Structure 1
Amino acid sequence: MLTTERKSLLLARLAQTGRLVARDLAAELALSEDTIRRDLRELAAEGHLLRVHGGALPLSPTHRPMAQRQGMQVQAKAQLAQKGAALIRPGQIVILDGGTTHLALVAALPKDLPCTIITHAPGIAAALEPFPKIEVILIGGRLMRHSMVAMGAETTASFARIRADLCFLGVTGVHPETGLTTGDAEEAALKRIMLGQAAEGVVLATEDKLGTSSPWGIAGLNTVRVVTTGDRPVWLGA
């Protein structure tokens, strides 16, 4: 079997089963595990999958610039925004992560909702301007352009001083084995702190994030309420 044929087979199997195990594939295809692992390394380098111990998992398709992500899953994000807005109660303190789904959440909020929203995303803060009863606290730091959120020691220290009722956390992958993941190590560390400073964590997950992973882990699925569109997968957290 040619290398291109093997890689096509591996990607098709990954799409079908949601996981590849190098040992099992080597036995099935009568190849060495080294050959399978080399194919997986090359596919990972090409951005087609995420290598894990013993095999591979689907890579989240959401590692794209903000402008491109705004046009993805628009209807699903609007549905999730309505569900997310219904979770916010008057008077609550809410941490709102960056991301296009959370921009949709802002648009779905009642115009007379009284609450406090804390965010490190300038775009989120600006979108809250038409809401006169929402107190907006913008946390600063070095701007991470891919996600358009503040990062760094100042950002981390500011979030560490907060006690919130809800944290709406942005992630790029939601998987039963790897949990909540994202594409940047520093961002993953900050998200863990944000999640830890709230009484409840919420992830609004579009279908393209379910069953996929990114390189850096944030937390397990049992630490948050995962809100999805359509039928809820049985492996999702609380």
Structure 2
Amino acid sequence: MYFMLTSQRKKAILDALARDGQVLATELSASFGVSEDTVRRDLRELASEGLLQRVHGGALPASPAIAPFARREVMESDAKRRIARKAAEMIAPGQVVIVDGGTTSALFVRQLPANLSATIVTHNPSVAVALAEHASLEVVLIGGRLYKHSIVTVGAAAVEAMSHIHADIYFMGVTGVHPTAGLTTGDFEEAHIKRALAARAAETVVLASAAKLNAASAYRIGGIELAQTIIVENAADAKLVEPIERAGITVLRA
């Protein structure tokens, strides 16, 4: 193995990550002929640039969905719209439905039939306001501290309010879906809120555009088995979807 500059190692790491979907520090160390400490430093620096997500023993692709809300609104809008439409079709009259935060949820509320009679529970003020004119929907808004990245409420007050809910479906937004790293998001408190909401619903449905598949963020919501169903875009690569299906999760394409 010839000597590699730091920049060359980093490029090789990112190339391997794009090709294999994950990298292991031990394998990189052997491949580059450098110590694991050196590899860990490379991974740490790449993570600080937002180019990967470090996990125990190596790294995974970083989710692009940790960008600010306004920027995420314009990302993959067509795919997100189709996912939102598929999610809306799952709701039956009379059900109690929890709607999460995020840009896909904002699209989701626009897909609800005008004559749908159901109860929508949300910790997203934007969703609640968007449904204010929907005559046949009851809207329950959960209060708390506003987490501006996703425009949702978080904190102890929100968790306490959720403890009184028994919902049929929870539509969860995530920033990463990975067969081993699980369901992840970019904020510690938001991860806690999402776990609490999943515990209050008979079924959890994850809405995941292709960029979120085989990606990870810093905070784990739970294992992939926390979801019963994951809705992905129709063009999602089969090799990214197959590990999810092998885990026993129903995958719907939109």
Answer yes or no: same fold by TM over 0.5. Answer: yes
- Rounded to whole Å, the distance in 1 between the matches of 2:186 and 2:195 is 14
Q: RMSD between aligned alpha carbons? A: 1.0
Look up the equivalent residue of 1:82 and give its one-letter code: R
Match of 1:115 in 2: 118
2:176 paired residue among 150, 173, 176: 173
- Rounded to whole Å, the distance in 2 between the matches of 1:219 and 1:29 is 34
Match of 1:26 in 2: 29
Match of 1:59 in 2: 62
- 1:130 positional shift: 3.0
- Rounded to whole Å, the distance in 2 between the matches of 1:45 and 1:146 is 19
Contact 1:111 1:130 in 2 (8 A): no
- Rounded to whole Å, the distance in 1 between the matches of 2:109 and 2:29 is 49
Contact 1:168 1:203 in 2 (8 A): yes
Match of 1:127 in 2: 130
Matched, 1:194 2:197: yes
Between 1:140-149 and 1:109-118, the stretch displaced more is 140-149
Pairing 1:1-238 to 2, within 5 Å after superposition: 1-224=4-227, 225-230=229-234, 231=236, 233-236=241-244, 237-238=249-250
Runs of 4+ residues deviating >6 angstroms = none
- Rounded to whole Å, the distance in 2 between the matches of 1:29 and 1:153 is 47
Between 1:91-100 and 1:221-230, the stretch displaced more is 221-230
Percent of pairs with identical residues: 49
TM score, norm. by length of structure 2: 0.91
TM score, norm. by length of structure 1: 0.97
Cα deviations across residues 184-236 of structure 1 (Å, max 9, x unaligned)? Answer: 11110111010000000001110010000011111222221111112561122
- Rounded to whole Å, the distance in 1 between the matches of 2:35 and 2:152 is 45
Cα deviations across residues 87-109 of structure 1 (Å, max 9, x unaligned)? Answer: 10000000101111011111111
Q: Secondary structure at the match of 2:66?
A: coil
Q: Secondary structure at the match of 2:220?
A: strand
Between 1:106-115 and 1:41-50, the stretch displaced more is 41-50
Contact 2:9 2:32 in 1 (8 A): no
Structure 1, unmatched stretches of 5+, are none
Look up the equivalent residue of 1:58 and give its one-letter code: P
- Rounded to whole Å, the distance in 1 between the matches of 2:163 and 2:76 is 32
- Rounded to whole Å, the distance in 1 between the matches of 2:127 and 2:90 is 18
Cα deviations across residues 29-81 of structure 1 (Å, max 9, x unaligned)? Answer: 22221211110111111211111111111111111111111100100011101
- 1:125 positional shift: 0.5
Aligned length: 238
